[in-house]
Amino acid sequence: MFDKVTKSIRVLSASSVEKANSGHPGMPLGMADVGTVLFKNFLKISNRNPNWINRDRFVLSAGHGSALLYSLLHFNGFNISVDDMKHFRQLNSKTAGHPELDVDIGIDITTGPLGQGFATGVGLALAETYLSDIFGNQIIDHYVYGIVSDGDLMEGVSFEAAELAGLWKLGKLIYIFDDNNISIDGNVDKVSVTNQSEKFQSLGWHVQEIDGHDENQIVDAIKEAQSNTSKPSLIIAKSTIGKHSPNKQNTSGIHGSPLGSDEMEQFLKNVSWTGNTFDHPQEIYDYFNEKRDTDNSKYDEWVSLLEEKITNDDDFADLWNEFNNKKIEFINSLNNERKATRVTGSEVLNSIGESNKFILGGSADLAASTKQIISNSIYSHKNRSGQSIEFGIREHAMAAVVNGITLHSNLIGYGSTFLVFSDYMRPSIRLASLMNLDSVYIFTHDSIYLGEDGPTHQPVEHLMSLRLIPGVDVIRPANSIEAQYAYQYIFTKSNNPKSLVLTRQSLDYIETNLSYKNFQDGAYELIKGDDITIFASGSEVNLAIEVSKKLKDKSVQIISTPILNQINTDTLENLKINEFVFTLELGRSIGWQDYIGKVTESFSIETFGESAPLEDLIEYFEFSSEKIAEKILQYIS
């Protein structure tokens, strides 16, 4: 029966690609055996309750093989129909070219950029251990499985994440490596000499090597991986890409192109298939039904146990309610002092950590500088409920792991580093937005004013670069009041990622009647004025106030802009800005006009910085209040 099932999965996958005349048939043909074993023998998932928090997670890191996942979900009774399979890669189809997060139909994660699924799965596995420690393993006890490819393992982000998984001893993380030695441009051994078995063993993983087409070997390997709870597992499954395609199997020609009509005909003949390739016998569906019925029963048992614990254990009930709350408990308790926003932020974050158990994260080896420490309890294999995570110098993996933590359920993960290093994190931030995750990225040292470290560490293009990512809120507070609202904002669940940007240098306290609602609007009138308007964000709000003092004979309206990308037409109309409009921001000016309309002049930084003390940089870049005031007067005098 196993051979009949894998035949159907191969045929349905290849036919979907063929009908679309676009896609990657090689991986589904090569990994049909592994996929069948996973769904039939191991994956604890409910097709009636796909959003079950205690389900096993499946990460198709080799996202180009999406047709395999869709076929498996179809045969396992998830809401993917034959018509959906026929609309593979078509507009608004459930069956996209790479998996797109949709838990309702059984897709746990958006994948595509290689390495991202691998690294994000590490975050999923960490979240499982964290929640299991808090709620108990009767409530949270599941595995994270994945299929990874040569390409995943070549990408640097997977190495970073693999070392973290080994360090944290994530024993419920099991990846199966599709070892077919083929990539788009040919044999992998032309571009890689890595012994993956030795590499992963050196990183603290449990490694096995098997025949990826042998049902018994696959079953035995996964059972052994499950039994090794002290190490993450890599099962190296030797496979043939495009298996049963007579002329294209084991070649790069089948990786990313349809078989073509002639080869498709020979493939179907090779597997002894007759009739409609989208019409499969009921026995294929029945093959998976017993496992799905078992898992649906497990779900019902789990719900009964959860309800019993909520009823009989008040402490558990309080934690569970907190876990499912969309808003954080927030206490405004700061003194109004001259401080860097990274320092203010540190105090706010620590306060949040004391009363909110379900926010966790840390820094890429920069906690002493970013100061974004939520708790003194460090996460490790010995302390699974530690809220502070030490990522080491691994910004790329940090961002992906944060996504995995947030993706798991109702947790919010955050990662922190210098703003200039957001470049390392950008692919993961982009994917967070694609998945509508509440992931949080906290960046400090936000401008050239970090000084002596020089242009390699001084961000210039980064603020606008982050704002360009659709769906990402970029928050840059100007003082302690805005900073407090900023933390409330970033940790309130709204189904989109947030980047919080903080200063290294101290900022003056600014008296304001700012409300949280005005903060959410993205901009508000800090000082009224009738002649000119200055928009500024972050530390430049202090500068705007100094500029206004130099313009003694002019009435200057100052608009603080903590969330530029949130400004809409109504907000702009309510602000009643003046004819002469200026912007102040220590970064590239491109984009301001798209948010606020016509700008008279943007005072900005359009080149890389220089290594020098802050005072010298102000003079060199003519960013003093005197120089800016002089230039403004040239327009309005």
**Spatial contact of 478 and 541, defined as CB atoms under 8 Å apart:** yes
Burial (CB < 10 A; 0-12, 13-18, 19+), residue 513, is exposed
Element (H, E) at 344: helix 341-355
3-state helix, strand, coil in the chain (%, to 5): 45, 15, 40
Residue from 547, 544, 570 nearest 559 by CA = 544
User: CA 539, CA 541: separation in Å to the nearest integer?
Assistant: 5
Which listed residue (395, 482, 525, 585) is catalytic? 395
Q: In Å, what is the CA distance from 570 to each residue of 99, 195, 521, 524, 573?
A: 37, 59, 9, 12, 5
How many angstroms from the chain centroid is the CA of residue 199? 26
**Spatial contact of 595 and 559, defined as CB atoms under 8 Å apart:** no
- The token duo for 249 is 């199997």
Three-state SS at 467? helix
DSSP 251-310: SGGGTSS---HHHHHHHHHHTT--S-TT---HHHHHHHHHHHHHHHHHHHHHHHHHHHHH
Instruction: Indicate if 160 belongs to the active site.
Output: no
How many angstroms from the chain centroid is the CA of residue 99? 15
User: CA 396, CA 605: separation in Å to the nearest integer?
Assistant: 27
**Spatial contact of 524 and 481, defined as CB atoms under 8 Å apart:** no
- The token duo for 428 is 């993961």
How many angstroms from the chain centroid is the CA of residue 366? 20
User: Which residues are CB-contacts of 234 (< 8 A; sequence separation ≥ 6)?
Assistant: 175, 176, 177, 196, 197, 200, 205, 206, 207, 208
425-438: string of b/e by CB count within 10 Å (b at 16+)? bbbbbbbbbbbebb
Catalytic residues: 395
